[in-house]
Structure 1
Amino acid sequence: MPLIDMPLEQLYAYQGRNPRPDDFDAYWERGLAEMRAVDARIEIVPSDFTTPAADCFHLYFNGVKGARVHAKYVRPKGAKEPHPAVVLFHGYTGSSGDWFDKLAYASLGFSVLALDCRGQGGRSQDSGSVVGNTHRGHIIRGLDGEPDDLLYRQIFLDTAQLAAIAMSLPEVDPEEVYAAGGSQGGALAIACAALEPRVKKLAPVFPFLSDYRRVWEMDLAKGAYEELSTYFRMFDPQHKREEEIFTRLGYIDIQHLANRIRGEVLFGVGLMDTICPPSTQFAAYNKITSKKRLEIFPDFGHEGLPGLQDKIARFFLGLY
């Protein structure tokens, strides 16, 4: 089999390269306390998009640092109450997407909440300095300030807050809330279930935002990870702060959150992935201690993985 990374037996043993800050747990407990203290001011507004099978809404809430965060909310008509819900997360720089693709889950009796990440392609605010989109540079946004100002800290907390909001909806069974997404969305599914451990099942696919130093050492700080290279070239061209920088990135490295997950995990990976290298994904997968299974696609990279979405749907239905 061709290799762009380690052999499979080494991948299963790999524990990651990026440093974990000494105060990592205290950092996230402080963040969760800040999130829980927010007056969320939840607002649910009917959408212009209507369908006979489901009701569609824009859901808004206040997140940490004063941002107004948006998610699409699709509620099936005629579903039993309470019923399961799926929280969905999108890829880097994207958005929650069209209403149409949420209807598949609604047809199975699931409510769906699909987050717009702050400052990316949807309606959520990036309140760090501007209202509106900042689109790229999110890994390094806040890297030169206090660790609590890292943008992905706020986005990770948004995922947990949205899952908790889903659990609070009267039509949703709080013990049957699931999380899913690919690439950045896969990373956010992991962060969501780590920071809101009541998430019962999650299905991350080729997750982003893991093991930054490994990405750098493989010379794959390109594409989605290009801002790592840009940061060093512009602000630390001789890498005199390399250890400091990677340690600070460790606060928002999903591999260090993975052991907090309590839900059951179905994890998809393509072994030819040059966007999110397999070893960086295994760094997170190998730290998950809850029930888990891995779906491996040896000849596939960062692309659609045939049949995987069907397996994820069956996994959430308890049929796989």
Structure 2
Amino acid sequence: MPLIDMPLERLKQYNGVNPCPSDFDLFWDEALEEMKAVDPQLQLIPSEFQAASADCFDLYFTGVRGARIHAKYLRPKNVSEPHPAVIQFHGYSGNSGEWWDKLSYVSLGYSVIAMDCRGQGGESEDTGGVKGNTLRGHIIRGLDSGPNDLLFRHIFLDTAQLAGIVMQLPEVDADRVGAMGGSQGGGLTLACAALEPRIKRLAPVYPFLCDYKRVWDMDLAVAAYDELKTYFRQFDPLHEREDAIFETLGYIDVQYLTKRIQGEVLMGVGLVDTVCPPSTQFAAYNKITSEKRLAIYPDFGHEGLPGFSDRTMSFLSGL
């Protein structure tokens, strides 16, 4: 089979190379306390798009640092009992997508919530206030201000806060909430379930935001990870701070969050993925201690994985 990374047997044992900060768990415990202290000021506004089978809303809440976060929320009509919900996360620089493609899960009797990541292609705010490059690059945004100002810290917290909000909706059964997404959405699915461990089932696909140093060592700081190269070229051309930089990025390395996941995991991975290298994905997967299984596509990269959407729906239909 094609090989751009380690052989499969080594991938199954791989444990990551990006340094993990010694206070990683304390960092995230304190971040969650900050999140819990925020008044979300929840708003549900009927959307212009409506469907015969669903009530559709623009959902807004206030996240950490005062940002207003937007999500699309669809709930099935004429369902009186509390029912399951699925939270969807989008790819890097994208948005929550269109309304129509969420109706398949509504047809199962599920509510669907799709979040716009702050500062990306949707309506959510990026309240800024950091030093360094803000032209592009959310991985490196806030890096020069310290780990508490990393943008992905805030985005990870947004995912957990949204999950908690969804679980408090009277029409949703808080014990039957799932999460899904690909690439950045896959990384955020893992982060969400780690920071809100009541997520019952999660289906990430080729998760982004894992094992940054491994990406660098493979010379794959291109495409989605190109900003790593941009940062070094602009702010540390002699790599005098390389170790410290990767340790700071360790605070937002999803692989070190996944040990917190309690829900059941179905993950899809392509073994010739040059955008999110397979080893980085396995670094996250191998640390999951809850029930889990992989769908491995030997000949596929960062692209549609045949049949995985159907597998995901079948998996989440067990919520």
TM over 0.5: yes
Does the 8 Å contact 2:211/2:280 carry over to 1? yes
User: Retained in 2: the 8 A contact 1:93–1:136?
Assistant: no
SS in 2 for 1:144: helix
| Distance in 2, Cα, partners of 1:74 & 1:92 | 23
Counterpart in the other structure of 1:39: 39
2:106–2:112 Cα contact (<8 Å) kept: yes
1: distance between equivalents of 2:216 and 2:147? 21
- Per-residue CA deviation, residues 232-281 of structure 1 (Å, 9 max, x unaligned), is 11111111111100000000000000100000000000001000000000
Question: For residues 122-137 of structure 1, what are the structure 2 equivalents within 5 Å?
Answer: 122-129=122-129, 136-137=136-137
Distance 1:252 1:242 in 2: 16
Q: Say yes or no: does 1:158 pair with 2:158.
A: yes
- State how 1:264-303 maps to structure 2 within 5 Å: 264-303=264-303
Q: In structure 2, what is the equivalent of residue 254 of structure 1? A: 254
Partner Cα separation in structure 1 for residue 280 and residue 146 of structure 2: 26
Partner SS state of residue 243, structure 2? helix
Q: Which residue of 1 aligns with 2:26?
A: 26
CA drift at 1:318 = 2.0
How many residue pairs align between the two structures? Answer: 316
* Paired position in structure 2 for 1:115: 115
Q: Which residue of 2 aligns with 1:314?
A: 314
Residue in 2 aligned with 1:203? 203
Give the superposition deviation at 1:147. Answer: 1.1
Residue 101 of structure 2 corresponds to 101
Q: Report the Cα distance in structure 1 between the residues aligned to 2:80 and 2:3, rounded to whole angstroms.
A: 48
Q: Is the 8 A contact 1:206 1:302 kept in 2?
A: yes
Q: State the one-letter code of the partner of 2:252.
A: I
Post-superposition shift, 1:2? 1.3
Cα deviation, residue 79, structure 1 = 2.9
Deviation sequence 1:103-156 (CA, Å, 0-9, x none): 1100111100100000000000000149xxx78310000000021100000000
Give the match for residue 191 of structure 2. Answer: 191
Mapped partners of 1:285, 1:80: distance in 2: 37
What's the secondary structure of 2:45's corresponding residue? strand
Deviation at 1:203, TM superposition (A): 0.4
**C-alpha contact 1:80 1:109 (8 A) present in aligned 2:** no
Match of 1:14 in 2: 14
User: Secondary structure at the residue paired with 2:102?
Assistant: helix
What SS does the aligned partner of 2:190 have? helix
Structure 2 Cα separation of the partners of residues 173 and 308 of structure 1: 26
- Structure 2: how far apart are the matches of 1:187 and 1:96? 15
What secondary structure does 1:45 align onto? strand
Give secondary structure in 2 for the equivalent of 1:247: helix
Contact (CA 8 Å) 1:263, 1:290: kept in 2 or not? yes
| Helix, strand or coil at the partner of 2:145 | coil
Give the drift of 1:78: 2.4
Q: Which residue of 2 aligns with 1:224?
A: 224
- The 2-side partners of 1:164 and 1:71 are apart by 14
Gaps of at least 5 residues in structure 2 are: none
State the one-letter code of the partner of 1:171: E
Q: Give the Cα separation in 1 of the matches to 2:64 and 2:234.
A: 30
Query: Which residue does 2:212 correspond to in 1?
Result: 212
The CA distance in 1 between the partners of 2:101 and 2:2, in whole Å, is 34
Cα distance in 1, alignment partners of residues 47 and 129 from structure 2: 29
Which residue identity is paired with 2:186? G
Q: Render the CA deviation track for 1:214-247: whole Å, top value 9, x for unaligned.
A: 0000000000000000001111111111110000
Task: Note if contact 2:263-2:290 (Cα within 8 Å) is conserved in structure 1.
Answer: yes
Say whether the 8 Å CA contact 1:187–1:209 is kept in structure 2: yes
Q: Structure 1 CA distance, aligned partners of 2:90 and 2:317?
A: 21
Q: How does 1:70-89 map to 2 (within 5 A)?
A: 70-89=70-89
Residue-by-residue CA offset, 1:168-224 (whole Å, 9 max, x unaligned): 000000000001000000000000000000000000000000000000000000000
Q: Report the Cα offset of residue 317 of structure 1.
A: 1.1
Cα separation, 1, equivalents of 2:80 and 2:110:
10
Aligned to 1:69: 69
CA contact (8 A) 1:119 1:135 kept: no
Aligned partner letter, 2:163: A
More deviation in 215-224 or 310-319? Answer: 310-319
Structure 2 distance, partners of 1:186, 1:5, is 20
TM-score by length of 2: 0.97
| Structure 1 CA distance for aligned equivalents of residues 241 and 79 of structure 2 | 55
- Where does structure 1 lack aligned partners over 5 or more consecutive residues? none
